[in-house]
Chains A and B, each alone.
Chain A
């Protein structure tokens, strides 16, 4: 009789353990970060495009690329983009070779939900050059 009682108790403990395992798995799933918010990303992308267009007004962006003035490009992006946005800019020439010798970014984008904007830039110089500017953006924090 006592043995039967003990077996019953073990069964109950095993059931509880099983429920605990499944429940903890559900909890872990719920606490995972959700999928990226697309509307937030679209606004970020739109902001990035507008920023590059503003920077390209009067051919400024092309001139800065030709002068290899990466510091001024970073400063301009710091000014034009709202605070709280991380960016990373890569500039490629007609052959797809990266031309910016220095990293143009304000903070690291690793581990963040980034959005990428591509801008085709033609210089206003007498010898016209073409570049592809790729701006990656992410919200900080």
Chain B
């Protein structure tokens, strides 16, 4: 009789146990879902693009450094650090970046600086990259060249105003990777005897920006000799420095 009287309570207890099992199972599923809610989603292609973009920045920064008088091996040093840094950044596999600095007649350790006298100046860096990535998604080898080149072309004409006074025009053309580019800073020089002077307001100096990478500098100066030599020194928007010299042609 006593056993029969308790059977209803046992039924209720069993129901409570079942209910708590159901709820706790659901809570567990929810918790597991939450931990995977914040997922690392740097997929393979995105990571490769990321590294390509970063490598480009390293080459640009290094060329800016070298062209502004920094160490000639700055590119090598920076790339070595970059490669070591990114080796541990891919959480879904193994990432290895190899680089080869171009060494040809023009390039030395990936750098070519030519600031010659014929109206042409170039500051360039050239590196070949190979990115090897082995991950959960796939194994990929990607090779790409990285050519960063700032080119400066100048041409000058002058017109005699009086015996020794001349109006000088200098046309400046700036290019990044053979595309028109803007300059961040332009300084013009002209040569008087052995001194290089910068024209200022007393020389009626003007600098016209055409907005397409072409600039026209004009000034009036006194030249004791017939020959008029000019020089343009520029830093492009990436801080890469380049200069070019030219002999002005009288018109």
Residues 18-36 of A, flagged 1 when their CB comes within 8 A of B and 0 if not, give: 1101101110110011111
Grouping DSSP codes into helix (H, G, I), strand (E, B) and loop, the B interface class, with mixed when no group exceeds half, is helix
Contacts of A32 in B (CB 8 A): 26-27, 30
* Residue contact A118 to B40, C-beta cutoff 8 Å: yes
Question: Within the assembled complex, what's the spacing in Å between the Cα atoms of A42 and B45?
Answer: 13
**Shortest beta-carbon distance, B22 to chain A, in Å?**
4
**Which residues from chain B contact A120 at a C-beta distance below 8 Å?**
50-51, 54, 85-86, 89
Say if the beta carbon of A49 comes within 8 Å of chain B. yes
Additional A-B contacts beyond A127-B61, A136-B38 (9; CB < 8 A): A14-B11, A22-B15, A22-B18, A29-B23, A36-B34, A53-B50, A113-B38, A126-B239, A132-B89
Complex formed: what's the CA distance from A118 to B86 in Å?
12
Q: Is the CB of A116 within 8 A of B40?
A: yes
Interface window among B63-71, B166-174, B218-226: B63-71
Closest CB of chain B to A139's CB: distance in Å? 12
B12 lies within 8 A of A122 (CB): no
Q: A15-B11, A124-B238, A126-B68 are in contact. Are A118 and B82 (CB under 8 A)?
A: no
A18: nearest residue on chain B (CB-CB)? B15
The smallest C-beta distance from A121 to any residue of chain B, in angstroms, reads 7
Q: How far is the CA of A39 from the CA of B16 in the complex (A)?
A: 37
Contacting residue for A26 out of B22, B27, B32, B37, CB 8 A: B22
Residues from chain B with Cβ under 8 Å of A17 in the complex: 12, 15
A35 to B30, CA, bound (A): 6
Residues in A neighbouring B29, C-beta threshold 8 A: 35
Contact B41 A117 (CB under 8 A): yes
Is the C-beta of B137 less than 8 angstroms from some C-beta in chain A?
Answer: no
- B24-62 toward A: CB 8 Å interface, digit per residue (1/0)? 011101101110111111110010011101110110111
Q: Does A80 contact B (CB under 8 A)?
A: no
Report A-chain residues with C-beta under 8 Å of the C-beta of B26.
28-29, 32
Contact B39 A46 (CB under 8 A): no
Flag A43-84 by CB within 8 Å of B: 1 or 0 each. 001101100010010110010000000000000000000000
Chain B residues in 8 Å Cβ range of A41: 37, 39, 41
Q: Is B41 a contact of A115 with CB atoms below 8 Å?
A: yes
- Judge if B211 is at the interface, Cβ distance under 8 Å: no
Could you pull out 20 A-B pairs where Cβ atoms are within 8 angstroms? A15-B8, A15-B11, A21-B19, A22-B15, A28-B26, A29-B22, A34-B33, A41-B37, A41-B41, A49-B50, A56-B53, A58-B237, A59-B57, A94-B85, A113-B38, A121-B54, A122-B61, A124-B64, A125-B61, A125-B239
CA distance A15 to B15 in the complex (A): 9
Q: If A118-B89, A120-B51 touch, does A28 touch B23 (CB 8 Å cutoff)?
A: yes
Say yes or no: A123-B30 contact (C-beta < 8 A), given A116-B38, A118-B89, A136-B38: no
List CB contacts (< 8 Å) of A85-121 with chain B: 94, 113-121
Please tell me if A140 contacts chain B, counting CB pairs below 8 Å: no
Complex Cα–Cα for A27 and B169 (A) = 85
Q: Which residue of B lies closest to A50 (CB)?
A: B46
Contacting B18 at CB < 8 Å: which of A25, A58, A59? A25
- Taking a contact as CB atoms under 8 Å apart, the answer to whether A130 and B81 are in contact is yes
Q: Which residues of A contact B22 (CB under 8 A)?
A: 22, 25-26, 28-29
